[in-house]
Amino acid sequence: MRSAGRVGSCALALVLALTTGAASSAPALAAPQSSGVTVQPAGADALAAAARDRVAAMSLRERAATVVMGHIPTTDAAALGSYMQSTGIGGFLLMGANIPGDEASLRALTAALTIDPALPPLIAVDQEGGDVSRLPWDVFPSALTLKGAPAAAVQDAFAGRAALVRRAGIGVNFGIVADETDDPASFIYRRVLGTTPAAAASSVAAAVAGEEGAAASTLKHFPGHGATEADSHATIPVTPLSYQEWQATDGAPFAAGIDAGAPLLMFGHLAYTAVDPAPASMSAEWHRIAREDLGFTGIAVTDDLGMLQASGDPRYADPAANAVAALAAGNDVVLMVVSSTADTAPAIVDAIVAAVDSGALPADRLTEAAERVTALRLRLAADGRGLVPCADCAPAG
């Protein structure tokens, strides 16, 4: 019997072959029948093992850089490539300022962001559709019209949306809002997929199913904005909702999305004071709940840490300190967008390295985070995400 490690090595070797000159033709799925050898995609265990080997060979600074997702506002492909090369960071979030006028130009930008096709970065985008839509050519239904729609309609819409994300060379979509509320006064109301826990849970699971295989789905903003009207872009919303009440209401869509297999979970900057007075993004308890109570095994990512800074709370005035605290709480990726410059990501990497050196951040916590991130990057490579996307594909329907 072929071992899992052997299967993983075959699949990863296939990726390397594709990235060194064989990309012009589709790889054979099987060797001639007489050989008795088949090529299989690397499974989760094989990718995890490969990620452990990769991370073990990294320096401390490389591990620290791996867990940082940065941003600079430009559509200059050369500048983006230089930024990724010089920082060595593991991810980049595309915002509106990074989106050129057509899909072909966007493909050129995502190719420039990919320094090593065998270990592509986590290129992410907030492609919800509707109010939050970075890709102007996305005409698929959004939460504005999907509230109350059958699960099949939600699945179809997100399958189309994820296809656009993939065509652009983007691996991760921060696009599934798992918050739920029936309050039109809430800033998140227009973006939720359901106005009751049950409806939201059904639609969130359908959205994850729709994106599967095309984009790495992200549920946001855990544990949910529905319990408060306040906007976390300007303040730190607070709710006294108990854990038991949360389980029956705001927690239901997240549980459904996790059960459906969403590989990323974004932690929001809001505080459920009956559970933890700290914002969930900085809360070890909320990370414990996600891992132990809901069974989440994927990548925990912060919402934009610049939002914490913008709240005006003096406890969160230092973005680098915020990143270290977020990692210590259990996040695997620290994201910084608001007020981010080309110097921000390197400063965060410096702070993470210093925190490990001083013992303020346990080295094994950083290693755990880096392994999770690297495993997803290897999975994207195995999917061909490190390759330049098709230049003349027919548009998604």
DSSP assignment of 83-131: HHHHH--SEEEE-GGG--SSHHHHHHHHHHH-S-TTS--EEEE-EEETT
Q: How far, in Å, are 252, 268, 271, 340 from residue 245 at the CA level?
A: 10, 18, 15, 37
- The amino acid occupying position 1 is M
Q: Which of 126, 303, 304, 332 is catalytic?
A: 303
Is residue 17 within a helix (H) or strand (E), and if so which, with residue range? helix 4-17
Buried b (16+ CB within 10 A) or exposed e, 290-306: beeebebebbbbbbbbb
- Residue 269 a catalytic site member: no
SS3 5: helix
Residue 235: which residues within 8 A CB-CB, separation 6 or more?
311, 312
Q: Which of 233, 259, 318, 383 is catalytic?
A: 233
Task: Kindly give, in sequence order, each residue whose CB lies less than 8 Å from that of residue 10, ignoring residues fewer than 6 positions away.
Answer: 39, 40, 42
Residues 266 and 270: their CA atoms lie apart, in Å, by 12
Q: Under a CB-based contact definition with an 8 Å cutoff, are residues 345 and 70 in contact?
A: yes
Give the integer Cα–Cα distance in Å for 321 and 326. 9
Helical pair 44-56 and 363-382, crossing angle rounded to 10 deg:
130
Supply 226's token pair: 């529905």
Distance CA 227, CA 242 (A): 11
Instruction: Determine whether 71 is an active site residue.
Output: no
Which amino acid belongs to residue 304?
Answer: D
At 199, phi and psi to the nearest 5?
-65, -45
**C-alpha angle 332-371-119 in degrees, rounded to nearest 5:** 105
Among all residues, which ones are annotated catalytic?
Answer: 233, 303
